[in-house]
Amino acid sequence: MMMNDMAQGAETSSGRRIGEVILDLQNISLSFGGVNALTDISFNVREHEIRSIIGPNGAGKSSMLNVMNGVYHPQKGKILFRGEPRQKMDPHTAAAQGIARTFQNIALFKGMSVLDNIMTGRNMKMKCNLLQHAIFWGKAQKEEIEHRVKVEEVIDFLEIQSIRKTPVGRLPYGLQKRVELGRALAAEPSLLLLDEPMAGMNVEEKQDMCRFILDVNDQFGTTIVLIEHDMGVVMDISDRVVVLDYGKKIGDGTPDEVKNNEDVIAAYLGTSH
Amino acid sequence: MLYREAGQFKATYQEDQQIFPIRQDRVGMAVILAFFFAAVPLIASEYWLQAILIPVLIFSLAAIGLNILTGYAGQLSLGSAAFMAVGAFGAYNFMLRIDGMPFLLAVVLGGLCAAVVGVAFGLPSLRIKGFYLAVATLAAQFFIVWALVKFSWFSNYSSSGVISAQEVNILGFAFDTPILKYLLTLAIVAVLALLAKNLVRSATGRRWMAVRDMDVAAEVIGIRPMRAKLSAFAVSSFYCGVAGALYAYTYLGTVEPEGFNLDLSFKILFMIIIGGVGSMLGSFLGAAFIVLLPIFLNVSMHTMFGDSLPAGLGSNLELIVFGGLIIFFLIVEPHGLARLWALAKDKLRLWPFPH
């Protein structure tokens, strides 16, 4: 509990200063009919940190992310984003506030090229209307090129220059995950939600992805909420970890604290009877 | 060897974002446009212009409309012919009831009427998808045709419901010969095709495709599915409406609501399926295929069998071969003629080497 309220100003693993609480979840409960997906969960996310959510399958991790960016609406509890309470919000509002995410099962736009997918990520920042798009001259073209420059920065950052014109459906799994990260980054989010970005990858791909996540956190100061099953990765790159099991919070703190938490050990390894 | 992009470097994003980034494509397009604008009027017979080229152009426009909705935004529709009817009757009534109405403005207004009706019938798309949506648009098809017959105000109380298109006159210049009507149709279709291409390569088009490919992810990025779907319905219906107005004014001259029946809707749907779903080129290829093939079959039947076949058998044979060819094409290349063209271009770039 002590470390849970880690002092503001402490260094993150990547050397960033941890700032104020930007997302505060208080007593969140979410149920679908009779199934309780989340029960009375409270934790917060501080600016610039890498916050991991772990737990066995079905623990409610993805539901938690869906609550954060407005896809699900919790029946109980309060969410404060940058100190502002929000009760009901749609994903559009979340995107406007600077929350971007990736999905557990790749949710790219399969028929579009890598470039178009990442360009779509800048949707919220493109202001021209349909008529201007139809004429595609002057303002619309200028806007398209401005955003293309930003998108090319993301492409360079993720080292996917060679595949920018490839339809994403033709790419191997690991690259698709990278493109999805690119699409989220293109929105220049302040809070980035990553749902199992390393699932199904081999060791090298995981190392690449870890590097990108740490670089995003370090270079852009983006706050990251991460769901991941690879404990090595989680313990290495997270500043704080929250552990869910059966929709309840069973642990919260630094990686070391969580590792030694008895409830967590019981949830993962079982207990002797 | 001729079709190579080697040596063509793009130094700016503007160059990279052109519709035809490869020089050979640009030259090809210019040649095609010059051919249809300058050469065709000189060499084509009246029959070719009126019975083949004008309808191919008009159906291409309708197919572009449906392709925007189905191919790019992923919303299946069986109401294209009805939206064409709205455009035709809309333009007719604007011409009829407002003195001195410019023809082009009437066509645009007819298209806008179709857009409004399209948005209204697109509302179910916010709740339902796929085949169920197709059934909902079927309601548009039947309702609109019924309404145009039932309320004879639309056809200016003509007893049979048939409307006769007024003379086409732009700035005092009468478009009364097939050549002029062809050129007018070609110009309108060329401009609208360019605008459609611009739309689908812009943020609007990306929003449509995002909703088509993965609507949850699109929403999380901040795209409003409602806005994307309804704008697709509006633009699509606008294109169908303009096509309908041209159908009445430059192609047939007289139309009745029953002419815009479900058969026509299916015909347009076949055009985009055979031409290529989600492709501008495909809209043109599909329209040309569906219009030309029956004529080609008819002619070849006559040259093969002469008059020895009974009339009924001949026309049924044509239908059988037509259906068979459609199935054949769909099996060989389910993504349509446009994909065949793209594959051919890929091969051409490497020719004479296999890889």
Q: What is the pLDDT of residues A177-201, one digit of tens each?
A: 999 999 999 999 999 999 999 988 9
Q: Return d(Cα A235, Cα B300) in angstroms, integer.
A: 75
Contact B13 A112 (CB under 8 A): no
- Please judge whether A69 and B213 are an interchain contact, meaning their C-beta atoms are less than 8 angstroms apart: no
Per-residue confidence (pLDDT) for residue A9, from 0 to 100: 54
C-alpha to C-alpha distance for B332 and B329, rounded to whole angstroms:
5
Strand A21-32 with A35-46, pairing: antiparallel
Residue B45: Cβ within 10 Å count: 10
Report residue B201 as tokens: 């390569």
CB spacing of B231 vs A187 below 8 angstroms: no
Partner-chain contact A128 B203, CB within 8 Å = yes
Three-state SS at A102: coil
Kindly tell me if the per-residue pLDDT of A174 is higher than 60. yes
User: What angle do the packed helices B103-122 and B80-97 form, to 10 degrees?
Assistant: 140
Say whether B210 and A183 touch across the interface (CB within 8 A): no
pLDDT at A13: 54
Q: Which residues of B touch A91 (CB under 8 A)?
A: 219-220, 222
Nearest to A107 among B202, B212, B217 (CB): B217
Cis peptide before B352 (omega within 30 of 0): yes
Give the pairing type, strands B173-174 and A21-32: unpaired
Residue A214 lies in a domain: yes
- A124 vs B contacts (CB less than 8 Å): 221-222
Average the pLDDT over A234-261 and give the result: 93
Q: How many structural domains does chain A have?
A: 2
Q: Are residues A183 and A234 in the same domain?
A: no
Size of interface A-B (CB pairs under 8 A): 107
Instruction: Give the pLDDT band (50/70/90) at residue B205.
Output: very high
Contact in structure between A53 and A23 (CB atoms under 8 Å): no
**Which residues is A38 bridged to in the sheet?**
A30
**pLDDT at A87 (0 to 100):** 65
The average confidence (pLDDT) of chain B is: 92
Q: State the pLDDT at residue B97.
A: 94
Q: Is residue A243 part of a domain?
A: yes
| pLDDT greater than 90 at residue B8 | no
| Distance from the A266 Cα atom to the nearest Cα atom in chain B, whole angstroms | 35
| Two tokens, residue A198 | 């390393």
Q: What is the pLDDT of residues B277-305, one digit of tens each?
A: 999 999 999 999 999 998 998 888 888 88
Which residue, A167, A188, A209, sits at the end of a domain? Answer: A188
| DSSP class per residue in B99-145 | TT--HHHHHHHHHHHHHHHHHHHHGGGGT--HHHHHHHHHHHHHHHH
pLDDT of B166 over the 50 cut: yes
Out of A103, A120, A149, the one facing B210 most closely (by C-beta) is A120
Contact A123 B222 (CB under 8 A): yes
In-domain check, residue A239: yes
Q: Tell me what the mean pLDDT of segment B223-243 comes to.
A: 96
Q: Are residues A33 and A51 in the same domain?
A: yes
Do A177 and A208 touch, CB atoms closer than 8 A?
no
Q: How far is CA B262 from CA A266, B135, B145, B258, in A?
A: 65, 12, 10, 9
Please answer yes or no on whether A130 and B199 come within 8 Å at the CB atom. Answer: yes
pLDDT digits (tens, 9 = 90+) for A12-51: 555 567 888 999 999 999 999 888 999 999 999 999 999 9
A168 and A226 both lie in a single domain: no
Q: Least CB-CB distance to A96: which of B203, B207, B222?
A: B222
Q: Which of A132, A167, A188 is the last residue of a domain?
A: A188
The verdict on A89 and A141 lying in the same domain is: no
Q: Which of B22, B67, B206, B238 is the best residue to mutate to test the A interface, defined by the most A CB atoms within 10 Å of its own CB?
A: B206
- How close A71 gets to chain B, by Cα (Å)? 8
Pairing of strands A50-54, A240-245: parallel
State residue B21's pLDDT score: 85
In a domain, A37, yes or no: yes
**Sign, Cα dihedral of B273, B78, B149, B157:** negative
CA B136 – CA B127 distance, rounded (Å): 11
Chain A residues with at least one Cβ partner in B under 8 Å = 69, 71, 90-92, 94-96, 100-101, 103, 107-112, 116, 119-121, 123-124, 126, 128, 130, 133-136, 140-141, 144-145, 148-149, 152, 183, 187
Contacts with A121 from chain B: Cβ below 8 Å: 221
Binary contact (A144, B202; C-beta < 8 A): yes
Question: Could you read off the pLDDT of B269-278 as tens digits, one per residue?
Answer: 999 999 999 9
**Is residue B17 very low, low, confident or very high in pLDDT (cuts 50, 70, 90)?**
confident
Q: Residue A258, class by beta-carbon neighbours within 10 Å (0-12 exposed, 13-18 middle, 19+ buried)?
A: buried
- Considering the domain architecture, whether residues A135 and A209 belong to the same structural domain is answered as no
Whether the Cβ atoms of residue A70 and residue A89 lie closer than 8 Å to each other: yes
The verdict on residue A106 lying in a domain is no
> A49 in a domain, yes or no?
yes
Of A188, A222, A256, at which residue does a domain stop? A188
* Residue of A69, A73, A92 to mutate for B, most B C-beta atoms under 10 A: A92
Which residue from B minimizes the CA distance to A111? B213
Burial class (CB in 10 A: 0-12, 13-18, 19+), B250: buried
Chain B nearest-CA residue for A168: B213
Closest chain A residue to the Cα of B231, Cα to Cα? A130
Instruction: Categorize the per-residue pLDDT at B331 as very low, low, confident or very high, splitting at 50, 70 and 90.
Output: confident
pLDDT category of residue A120 using cuts at 50, 70 and 90: very high
Q: Residue A69 and residue A91: Cα distance in Å, rounded? A: 6
In terms of residue numbers, what domain contains A180? 112-188
| CB-side neighbour CA atoms (13 Å) of A8 | 8
> Residue A3 pLDDT > 50, yes or no?
no
- Give the amino acid at B51: A
Q: Which residue of A has its CA nearest to B232?
A: A130
- Are B203 and A144 an interchain contact pair (Cβ–Cβ within 8 Å)? yes
Single pTM value for the model: 0.92
| pLDDT confidence band for A83 (50 / 70 / 90) | confident
Give the distance, in angstroms, between the CA of residue B278 and the centroid of all CA atoms in the same chain.
12
Q: Could you say which DSSP state residue B268 is in?
A: H
- Total Cβ atoms within 10 A of residue B273: 22
At residue A4, the pLDDT reads 43
- CA of B163 vs chain A CAs: smallest distance (Å): 32
Q: Give the distance from residue A190's alpha carbon to the nearest chain B alpha carbon, in angstroms.
A: 14
Residue A104 lies in a domain: no
Contact A8, A20 (CB under 8 A): yes
What is the least distance, in Å, from the CA of A129 to any CA of chain B? Answer: 8
Residues A26 and A60 in one domain: yes
Q: Are residues A14 and A119 in the same domain?
A: no
Closest CB to A136: pick one of B198, B206, B278: B198
Task: Verify that A60 and A161 share a domain, yes or no.
Answer: no
CATH at residue A68: 3.40.50.300
Q: DSSP letters along A107-156, please?
A: ---TTSBHHHHHHHHTGGG----HHHHHHTSTHHHHHHHHHHHHHHHHHH
User: What is the DSSP secondary-structure string of B269-337?
Assistant: HHHHHHH-TT-HHHHHHHHHHHHHHHHHHHHHHHHHHTT-S-HHHHHHHHHHHHHHHHHHHHHH-TT-H
Residue with tokens 């623990």: A59
**Do A79 and A179 lie in a common domain?**
no
Nearest-CA distance B291 → chain A (Å): 28
- Determine the residue of chain B that is closest to A102 in CA distance: B217
Residue A161 in any domain: the answer is yes
Interface of B with A (CB under 8 A): 12-14, 17, 195-196, 198-199, 201-207, 209-210, 212-214, 216-224, 231, 235, 278
B218 interaction partners in chain A (CB closer than 8 Å): 109, 120
Verify that A158 and A235 share a domain, yes or no. no
Q: Is the separation of the CB atoms in B241 and B252 below 8 Å?
A: no
Output the pLDDT for position B45.
Answer: 92
Same domain, yes or no: A168 and A194: no
pLDDT at A17 (0 to 100): 75
Report d(CA A37, CA B68) in Å as an integer.
40
The SS3 call for residue B196 is helix
Does B202 contact A116 at a Cβ distance shorter than 8 Å?
no
B217–A124 CB contact, under 8 Å: no
Are both A205 and A182 inside the same structural domain? no
Alpha-carbon distance of B212 to B307, in angstroms, equals 51
First to last CA, chain A: 28
In contact, A245 and A234? CB cutoff 8 Å: no
According to the model, what pLDDT value does residue A1 have? 36
